[in-house]
């Protein structure tokens, strides 16, 4: 008897495996470009350059749980700490191993073969990736040239779709999802998932409280950006308690590891420090945007997040990314037709941003004079 065939045995919709282009390993890039990893300014993953909150670091140092014991599957202390920050009931919250895990769970519960989801490109790649992984179809209603939503187009597409996925602020444009569009989309009966990974850097209110009180809306938040815990993988979803109850029964048990749980609870207790650091990143974002706008070959997109997308009139995104890599500065280039002449730069500490701006000015001169 022939052995199990790993390709032929796949579920048919996985015949064309979806692909997610994840971040390149910084140590590998450093080696390739001959730069010392210690000198790298990592601005490609929208991470938080200040690192975890002091109390989170302390909690990780003093982990007093037994690693041989399972953590709290019911997430009682964790949900309580999160509830205090977002002013919603713990019953409306479910935590997971980052937003990526939460997204996968939403698909597991609600979206599969025969379903379609609506996105507005360019946007975070996981929605389309998860859709492919679960056999659903993507309806893309692209953002307009000025990166605003085609609101009527999205409402039209949402009718008959199972769900709509939008980040607010959007990655990579940094633009906000207007609440009036949320209202219109909710009325279509589709599940509306608003991914607020970057909301702590935005001049806009979170929809989390609203999600806790009405059906049809899920808000995703993460500790990866504001909380600087990307490597520990922890995030949470806020929704109507009835859905949260179903979700807690459908999730994998113990999906949040004990170290992430301890660091997240401590981060909530240190929210004032994290908010202060977020405010520094916001003022640095405004400074970087202003200074980039003074260069005749760069048009930055006004951003509500901890990164800035910029349009380039000299070279293209890949050229600038590679030239910055040679100087130890790592940024994110998207190899798609609409973004080839763009580059996304996460906001660093003030001294990092100074180095970045100097490097960009130098590279601009080089590109202009050959």
Q: Tell me how far apart the alpha carbons of residues 261 and 349 are, in angstroms, rounded to a whole number.
A: 27
Check residue 261 for interaction with ligand PMP (CB under 6 A).
no
Q: How far is the CB of 8 from ligand PMP (least distance, A)?
A: 32
Residue 252: C-alpha distances to residues 94, 100, 101, 229, 263 (Å):
12, 14, 10, 21, 20
Check residue 167 for interaction with ligand PMP (CB under 6 A).
yes
Q: How far is the CB of 230 from ligand PMP (least distance, A)?
A: 5
Q: Tell me how far apart the alpha carbons of residues 313 and 285 are, in angstroms, rounded to a whole number.
A: 21
Check residue 173 for interaction with ligand PMP (CB under 6 A).
no
Check residue 346 for interaction with ligand PMP (CB under 6 A).
no
The three-class DSSP label of residue 108 is helix
> Which CB, 100 or 341, lies closer to ligand PMP?
100
Neighbours of 66 (CB within 10 A): 9
The three-class DSSP label of residue 66 is coil
CA atoms within 13 A on the CB side of 175: 19
Q: How far is the CB of 125 from ligand PMP (least distance, A)?
A: 9
**Residue span binding ligand PMP (CB under 6 A) among the ranges 30-38, 95-103, 135-143, 361-369:** 95-103
Q: Which of residues 17-76 bind ligand PMP (CB under 6 A)?
A: 46
In 3D space, the residue among 268, 230, 289, 248 whose CA is nearest the CA of residue 78 turns out to be 268
Check residue 206 for interaction with ligand PMP (CB under 6 A).
no
3-state helix, strand and coil shares in percent for the chain, rounded to the nearest 5: 45, 15, 45
Check residue 235 for interaction with ligand PMP (CB under 6 A).
yes
Q: Which of residues 268-327 bind ligand PMP (CB under 6 A)?
A: none
> Which CB, 35 or 149, lies closer to ligand PMP?
149
Q: How far is the CB of 68 from ligand PMP (least distance, A)?
A: 27
Check residue 192 for interaction with ligand PMP (CB under 6 A).
no
> Which CB, 100 or 284, lies closer to ligand PMP?
100
Region of 280 (left: φ > 0; alpha: ψ -120 to 50; beta: rest) is alpha
Q: How far is the CB of 295 from ligand PMP (least distance, A)?
A: 26
Residues near 316 by beta carbon (within 8 Å), at least 6 away in sequence: 340, 341
> Which CB, 71 or 122, lies closer to ligand PMP?
122
Q: Which of residues 97-136 bind ligand PMP (CB under 6 A)?
A: 98-100, 124
**Residue span binding ligand PMP (CB under 6 A) among the ranges 82-90, 94-102, 322-330, 359-367:** 94-102
Query: What is the SS3 string spanning 12-39?
Result: HHHCCCCCCCCCCCHHHHHHHCCCCHHH
Check residue 255 for interaction with ligand PMP (CB under 6 A).
no
Which of 265-303 are b and which e, b meaning 16 or more Cβ less than 10 Å from the residue's Cβ? bbbbebbebbeebbeebbebbeebbebbeebebbebbeb
Q: Applying CB under 6 A, which residues contact ligand PMP?
A: 46, 98-100, 124, 167, 171, 195, 197, 222, 224, 230, 235
């Amino acid at each position: 008897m022939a052995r199990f065939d790993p390709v032929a045995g796949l579920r048919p919709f996985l015949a064309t495996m979806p692909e997610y282009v994840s971040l390149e390993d910084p140590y590998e890039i450093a080696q390739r470009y001959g730069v010392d990893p210690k000198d790298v300014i990592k601005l490609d993953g929208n991470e938080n350059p200040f690192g975890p909150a002091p109390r989170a670091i302390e909690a990780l140092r003093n982990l007093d749980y037994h690693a041989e014991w399972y953590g709290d599957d019911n997430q009682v202390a964790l949900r309580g700490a999160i509830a205090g920050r977002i002013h919603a009931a713990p019953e409306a919250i479910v935590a997971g191993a980052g937003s990526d895990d939460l997204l996968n769970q939403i698909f597991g519960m609600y979206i599969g073969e025969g379903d379609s989801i609506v996105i507005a490109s360019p946007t975070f790649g996981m929605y389309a990736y998860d859709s492919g992984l679960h056999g659903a179809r993507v309806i893309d209603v692209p953002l307009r040239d000025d990166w605003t939503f085609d609101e009527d187009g999205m409402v039209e597409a949402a009718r008959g779709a199972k769900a709509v996925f939008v980040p607010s602020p959007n990655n990579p444009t940094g633009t906000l999802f207007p609440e009036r569009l949320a209202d219109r989309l909710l009325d279509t009966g589709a599940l509306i998932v608003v991914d607020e990974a970057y909301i702590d850097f935005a001049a806009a209110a979170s929809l989390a409280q609203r999600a806790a009180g009405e059906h049809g809306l899920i808000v995703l938040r993460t500790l990866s950006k504001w909380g600087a815990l990307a490597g520990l993988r922890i995030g949470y979803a806020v929704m109507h308690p009835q859905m949260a109850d179903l979700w807690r029964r459908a999730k994998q048990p113990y999906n949040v590891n004990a170290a992430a749980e301890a660091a997240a609870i401590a981060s909530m207790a240190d929210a004032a420090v994290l908010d202060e650091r977020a405010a520094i990143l916001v003022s640095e974002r405004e400074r970087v945007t202003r200074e980039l706008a003074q260069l005749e070959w760069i048009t930055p997109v006004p951003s509500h997040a901890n990164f800035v997308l910029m349009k380039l009139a000299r070279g293209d995104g890949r050229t600038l990314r590679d030239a910055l890599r040679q100087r130890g500065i790592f940024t994110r280039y998207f190899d798609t037709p609409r973004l080839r002449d763009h580059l996304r730069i996460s906001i660093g500490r003030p001294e990092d941003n100074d180095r970045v701006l100097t490097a960009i000015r130098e590279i601009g001169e080089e590109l202009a004079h050959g």
